[in-house]
Structure 1
Amino acid sequence: MNWAQIHLQDDGLVSQDSGDIYFSQVDGVQESHYVYPGANRVGQRAAAAWEAGQDCFVIAELGYGTGLNCALSLLELQRAARSCTAGTANVRYIGFESRPVDPRDLAGIIPKAAGTNPELAALWTELSHRLQAAASQHDSTTEPAGYTILRWSTRPGWEIELHIGDARELVPRQRLLADCWYLDGFAPSCDDALWGAELLEAVSLRTRPGGSCSSFTAAGRVRRQLASCGWQVTRAPGYGRKRHMTLAVLPLTSNCPPRGE
C-alpha cells in the first residue's frame, strides 16, 4: 500500500506531499463535523430516507484521508438508526483516496484528536484497524491495474468501501447514486486533481436527485463548476475563523442516470 507521508505541526496534521492539513489539532474534529455530516444533515436525512422506504443511505467522499469524516458520519447514522422504526436502515460509505494515511501513524493521533469523545475515539480506531487488516489481506490480482478496492463492515448492512487510486479515473467507473458527497480533497491551490470540471460532472451524475455536497473550500471556480453541473450552490458560513465553505444541493428535477461500470 502506498501510504501518505504525514507529520504534526502546531496547526494540525499535515500532508508532506501537498503541505495542506488533514485537520486542525485545536478544533479539527468540530470543524470536520460542521462541514461534512453536520452541513449535509446526514442523521436527519438518513432517518427520513429509511422511514420512506429507502433501503440504504449512501455517502461518498473524495479524499478519505484519516477516516475522520467517516467515523463522524457513522456516529450520526448510528444515533439515527437507533430511533428508526423502518425495517431496514443500511449504510454504504464509499471513499476515493490516492494515498490513505497509514493506520499505524494514526495510533497515537486519534486519542488526542478525539479528546473527550470516547465514542468517536473507539469508532475511529476501529475503522483504522479494519483498514489495516483489509490492506494486509488484500489480493489485487483480480482487479484492473492502477487501483485497489478495500471493503469492510462495521455492523450488518453497514459497508465501508475504499477505492484507492486516481479519483478522476475511479469515479466515472462507479454505478451509484449517493445521497451526499464530501468534497474533501486538499485545497485547490495545493492539489488541483480533485477539483476539475470532468470529475465534478462525474460526481453530479452519481448523486441522487435532492442529494447534497459540501466542502471546506469556497473557491469561486469550484462553486462555478458545481453550478454548471446543475447544483444549487451556496457560499455558506464556515467554521470558526474560516469565513466561508461550499454547500450545494442537486435539485429534485435533476434525473441524470449514473454512468460507468
Structure 2
Amino acid sequence: MIWRDGDVPVATRFDDPYYSLENGLAETRHVFLAGNDLPGRLCPGFSVAELGVGTGLNLLALALEAEAAGVTGVSYVGFEAYPLERAELERALASFEEVSGPAQDLLAQWDSGAFVAQVGPIQAQMIVGDARETLARWGGLADAWFLDGFAPAKNPELWEADLMAEVGAHTAPGGSFATYTAAGDVRRALAAAGFEVERLPGFGRKRHMSVGRKL
C-alpha cells in the first residue's frame, strides 16, 4: 500500500488506486449507484453484492442513499481477497466527511478476516478469499452488483469469464450490474453470463462504463 496525492490509497500489488483520483465518492454515485438505478430500486429485502470491497466507499455511499430514502432491510455482501487493515481503512476514508457517520459504523466493526456489521441501515457482510472460489460457495442472489475490482489489465483474475458466469448465476431475475470498465472481454463475458449489456458515459476521464440487466 502506498498513498498518492495525500490520502488516496494505491494497491502496490496491482499498481492501481482504490478509487478515482478526481473524486471517489462522486465516481461511486455515478457508476455504482446510478448505474444500478439506486436508490430508486431499494426496498426491504433488496440485496447488493460487490466484487472488490476495497475501502468500503461503495458500501458507505449505499448506506447514505438508503438512509436518505428511508429504506431499511437492505443487505450487502462484499467479496474481497486482500482486505485493508483498520488503520489503512480509516486513513482512506478520512477525506470523505460526508460518509463519516456510516464510516464510524464500519470502522467500529471492521475485521480484515471477515465481518458482519450494521452500517447505517445496511446489514453488511464481507467474505474474504479468492472470489473465484468464495462466490461459487455463496448461497445468495443479488439484485444489484458492484463490479469494482482493480483494472482488468492489472487484475484479470477478478474479470475472468468463469467468474462473470458466477455473477450471472448469483443474480436475481431482473437484477443488474454496474462497473467502471468498458473492456470488451468483460462486456462479452457478462453478456454470455445472461446480462443485456449497455455502454454508458463514464466518470471523469473515463469515456465509458458498463451496466446490464439479467435477461
TM-score range, shorter chain: over 0.9
**3-state SS of 2:46 partner:** strand
Three-state SS of the structure 2 residue aligned to 1:235 is: strand
Q: Which residue of 2 aligns with 1:246?
A: 210
Please list the CA deviations of residues 59-117 of structure 1 after superposition, one character each: whole Å capped at 9, or x if unmatched.
0000001000000011111122x2x6xxxx411100000011212123233222x15x2
2:85 is equivalent to residue 102 of structure 1: yes
Residue of structure 2 in register with 1:236 after alignment: 200
Counterpart of 1:59 in structure 2 is 48
Q: % of aligned pairs identical?
A: 36
Structure 1 position 121 matched with structure 2 position 116: no
Bigger mean CA offset, 227-236 vs 18-27 = 18-27
The 5 A counterparts of 1:212-223 are 212-223=176-187
Taking only aligned residues, the RMSD between alpha carbons, in angstroms, comes to 1.8
Q: Distance in 2 between matches of 1:243 and 1:45?
A: 26
Task: Determine the structure 2 residue equivalent to 1:150.
Answer: 115
How far apart are the structure 2 equivalents of 1:196 and 1:233? Answer: 16
The residue that corresponds to 2:28 in the other structure is 32
| C-alpha distance in structure 2 between counterparts of 1:56 and 1:166, whole Å | 26
Give the paired residue count.
Answer: 214
Distance 1:244 1:209 in 2: 26
Aligned to 1:130: 109
**Which residue identity does 1:90 align to in structure 2?**
G
Letter in 2 for 1:246: S
1:236-256 alpha-carbon deviations (Å, 9 max, x no partner): 1001221001111112xxxxx
Amino acid at match of 1:151: V
Whole-Å separation in 2 of the counterparts to 1:227 and 1:72:
27
Which of the numbers 9, 14, 39 marks the counterpart of 2:4?
9
- What amino acid does structure 1 have at the position aligned with 2:48? I
How much does 1:183 deviate? 0.6
**After superposition, where does 1:149-168 map in structure 2 within 5 Å?**
149-154=114-119, 158-168=122-132
> What SS does structure 2 have at the residue aligned with 1:94?
strand
Corresponding residue for residue 38 of structure 2:
42
Q: Which residue of 1 aligns with 2:155?
A: 191
Unpaired segments ≥5 residues, structure 2: none
Query: For 2:196 and 2:93, how far apart are their aligned partners in 1?
Result: 35
Matched, 1:78 2:74: no
| TM-score (normalizing by structure 2) | 0.92
Write out per-residue CA displacement over residues 194-247 of structure 1, whole angstroms, 9 at most, x where no aligned residue: 111111111101111111101111100000111111211011100122100111
- Deviation, structure 1 residue 155: 5.7
Query: Are the aligned partners of 1:179 and 1:207 in contact in 2 as well (CA < 8 Å)?
Result: yes
Q: Distance in 1 between matches of 2:199 and 2:22?
A: 24
Q: Is the 8 A contact 1:13 1:24 kept in 2?
A: no
Which residue identity does 2:5 align to in structure 1? D
Q: Which amino acid aligns with 1:72?
A: A
1:69 counterpart = 2:58: yes
**Runs of 5+ consecutive residues of structure 1 not aligned to the other structure:** 1-5, 136-147, 252-261
Contact 1:110 1:125 in 2 (8 A): no
1:155-199 deviations in Å (ceiling 9; x for gaps):
67x421110000000001111111100110011111111111111
Instruction: Specify the alignment match of 2:169 in structure 1.
Output: 205
With the length of structure 1 as denominator, give the TM-score of the two structures: 0.77
Contact 1:103 1:129 in 2 (8 A): no
Larger Rg: 1
Deviations 1:128-163 (A, max 9, x none): 22114xx5xxxxxxxxxxxx542122367x421110
